[in-house]
A and B are shown apart, each in its own frame.
Chain A
């Protein structure tokens, strides 16, 4: 009896230890890759500067500042008598993250609902889908000013400004969610659909008991794309609004000083990338917690 209990428990403990080892291994790998990238950057710089090569572009302190110059910029004030760049950027990051998160949430819901409607209406799918695809070929920079003009006057006070940016992020987010969710909802096994027919299941039941669970791996692969797209959408959305509170504003600002202090723009890029990665990681973790499938079936 006790032997059996041990036999049952020990594989689990082994599994837990294996996943811990695997996690540490992955973290080590990330550190190694980052170190290698920094090394490559500096090596490239050193070769081009010491040989004086000018192709494909001239390498100097402006085009490719030292990695440590970029990181040192974080601790120094961006302007005289102001807090350090990192604390300024973190505030701006929080603002942009708020826009991106709202855009992501809204886009995910709209994208999902749209896919549910389209999977049930063949005619609508045929007629409507080309326009959804078409919507994404319009450059976001071209429609962002219009979105701001349309949306901003209708927004209540606390949403003014950043709300419009969130809508622009939504525009970039909903698309992959719609396309992938549609595919996922259609991925339900034909035999499983037949089984539901033998239960005389309503469309609604088929949707919630079969189609939606079957679609989850597809939905999450879309959400991973949407996570980074929403951050890009939020940053680009800030440009035409003239908002100074987010990373987009900071990028515009540091652009103007690039020839003098390139490290500040680079530092902002590093932070923006980190925000995108953070969004991505959150989605991956949520997927791990929610979707339990045989290992070979993850999309």
Chain B
């Protein structure tokens, strides 16, 4: 690999293995993965395939047992300390004692931004996630989908190059989820982040991504990668295109072929 290409990758994982000492579970085995700038990559697989662990390894929220992780050419630790990524969890994790705009401004306060600069930035972000007018609301006054949009605005507030999303729409109903999928794509087109998106939903993964990484459990491995060649910008019609269905089927079959060890409830996830 040349120096230039090495510098270009936003995320690079080489031979990453993660074992949990308790119970001797191998959550991840020998993972190699590379993400180019502006790439939108989904990690999909049944419970226990290590997709969330992989995301946490990239974010330096847990350390790999062996292998190397680099983010923007730096160690994962250095990248976390430099604020190279923003993260969105399944729960919005908003602070009840802060208003919507103060929640969005939290990372900016940590970075020591001045009041005026924060205010300007928060106004931009509220506009980006279409929550203008809700600045002074409290988190518990918002719907689940709106809360998650606040969490996305907060993650993007300090303009990190990388966005890590851990089943961000997993707790939402189907209709809200599809609307937020569209909104996320329009945000991504404006901001140009590299995105790592963990999901349980095949249709969501195909609709959003450039590339879908299918993982299989025990031990957590990459079963295969499928390039999604649907053109951007993707719209409501994309979900009705024949090519979309072909790709959904392709992902489903890859999941199924690696799913021979699945438990019944994990089978259910794939249906």
Q: Do A and B bind each other?
A: yes
Assembled-state Cα–Cα distance A293/B87 (Å)? 25
Tell me if B96 and A209 are in contact (CB < 8 A): no
Tell me if A194 and B61 are in contact (CB < 8 A): yes
Count contacts on B: residues with CB < 8 A to the other chain: 22
User: Is B175 an interface position by the 8 A CB rule?
Assistant: no
Tell me if A195 and B97 are in contact (CB < 8 A): no
Once A205-B110, A293-B96, A297-B96 are accepted as A-B contacts, the answer to whether A198 and B91 lie under 8 Å apart by CB is no
Question: Which single residue of chain B is at the shortest CB-CB distance from A201?
Answer: B110
Tell me if A191 and B80 are in contact (CB < 8 A): no
Residues of A within 8 A of B120 (CB): none
Count contacts on A: residues with CB < 8 A to the other chain: 21
Tell me if A200 and B81 are in contact (CB < 8 A): yes
Tell me if A198 and B87 are in contact (CB < 8 A): yes
User: Is B130 an interface position by the 8 A CB rule?
Assistant: no
Enumerate B83-115 residues with CB–CB distance to A below 8 Å: 83, 85-87, 89, 91, 93, 95-98, 106-107, 109-111
Once A194-B61, A198-B80, A209-B110 are accepted as A-B contacts, the answer to whether A293 and B97 lie under 8 Å apart by CB is yes
Assembled-state Cα–Cα distance A241/B97 (Å)? 45
Once A205-B110, A209-B110, A292-B138 are accepted as A-B contacts, the answer to whether A200 and B80 lie under 8 Å apart by CB is yes
Tell me if B96 and A199 are in contact (CB < 8 A): no
Assembled-state Cα–Cα distance A189/B90 (Å)? 14
Residues of B within 8 A of A195 (CB): 87, 89, 93
Tell me if B85 and A192 are in contact (CB < 8 A): no
Residues of B within 8 A of A198 (CB): 59, 61, 80, 85-87
Tell me if B80 and A209 are in contact (CB < 8 A): no
- Distance (Å) between the CB of B168 and the closest chain A CB? 13
Question: Which single residue of chain B is at the shortest CB-CB distance from A210?
Answer: B95
Enumerate B53-103 residues with CB–CB distance to A below 8 Å: 59, 61, 80-81, 83, 85-87, 89, 91, 93, 95-98
Assembled-state Cα–Cα distance A191/B90 (Å)? 10
Assembled-state Cα–Cα distance A292/B141 (Å)? 12
User: Is B232 an interface position by the 8 A CB rule?
Assistant: no
Assembled-state Cα–Cα distance A198/B93 (Å)? 13
Tell me if B97 and A192 are in contact (CB < 8 A): no
Question: Which single residue of chain A is at the shortest CB-CB distance from B107?
Answer: A199
Assembled-state Cα–Cα distance A293/B138 (Å)? 9
User: Is B140 an interface position by the 8 A CB rule?
Assistant: yes
Assembled-state Cα–Cα distance A3/B81 (Å)? 50
Once A199-B83, A201-B110, A205-B110 are accepted as A-B contacts, the answer to whether A294 and B96 lie under 8 Å apart by CB is yes
Question: Which single residue of chain B is at the shortest CB-CB distance from A195?
Answer: B93
Interface residue SS majority, chain B: loop
User: Is A219 an interface position by the 8 A CB rule?
Assistant: no
- Distance (Å) between the CB of B219 and the closest chain A CB? 24
Residues of A within 8 A of B93 (CB): 189, 191-192, 195
Enumerate B150-178 residues with CB–CB distance to A below 8 Å: none
Question: Which single residue of chain B is at the shortest CB-CB distance from A189?
Answer: B93
Interface residue SS majority, chain A: helix
Tell me if B97 and A216 are in contact (CB < 8 A): yes
Tell me if A294 and B140 are in contact (CB < 8 A): yes
Assembled-state Cα–Cα distance A293/B85 (Å)? 30
Assembled-state Cα–Cα distance A294/B106 (Å)? 20
Among B80, B96, B109, B138, max chain A CB count under 10 A is at B96
Enumerate A204-223 residues with CB–CB distance to B below 8 Å: 205, 209-210, 213-214, 216
User: Is A197 an interface position by the 8 A CB rule?
Assistant: yes
Among A191, A214, A291, max chain B CB count under 10 A is at A191
Assembled-state Cα–Cα distance A136/B99 (Å)? 40
Assembled-state Cα–Cα distance A210/B98 (Å)? 11
Residues of B within 8 A of A213 (CB): 95, 97-98
Residues of B within 8 A of A197 (CB): 61, 80
Assembled-state Cα–Cα distance A72/B59 (Å)? 73
Residues of A within 8 A of B83 (CB): 199-200
Enumerate A179-207 residues with CB–CB distance to B below 8 Å: 189, 191-192, 194-195, 197-201, 205
- Distance (Å) between the CB of A202 and the closest chain B CB? 9
Residues of A within 8 A of B61 (CB): 194, 197-198
Assembled-state Cα–Cα distance A297/B61 (Å)? 29
Residues of B within 8 A of A189 (CB): 93
Residues of B within 8 A of A201 (CB): 110
- Distance (Å) between the CB of A220 and the closest chain B CB? 13
- Distance (Å) between the CB of A129 and the closest chain B CB? 27
- Distance (Å) between the CB of A289 and the closest chain B CB? 13
**24 A-B Cβ contacts within 8 A?**
A189-B93, A191-B89, A191-B93, A192-B93, A194-B61, A194-B89, A195-B87, A198-B61, A198-B80, A198-B85, A199-B83, A200-B81, A200-B110, A205-B110, A209-B109, A213-B95, A213-B97, A214-B97, A216-B97, A291-B97, A292-B96, A292-B138, A294-B140, A297-B96
Chain B residues in the interface with A (C-beta under 8 A): 59, 61, 80-81, 83, 85-87, 89, 91, 93, 95-98, 106-107, 109-111, 138, 140
Chain A residues in the interface with B (C-beta under 8 A): 189, 191-192, 194-195, 197-201, 205, 209-210, 213-214, 216, 291-294, 297
Extra contacts, 5 of them, besides A191-B91, A209-B106, A210-B95 (Cβ < 8 A), are: A195-B93, A200-B110, A201-B110, A209-B110, A294-B138
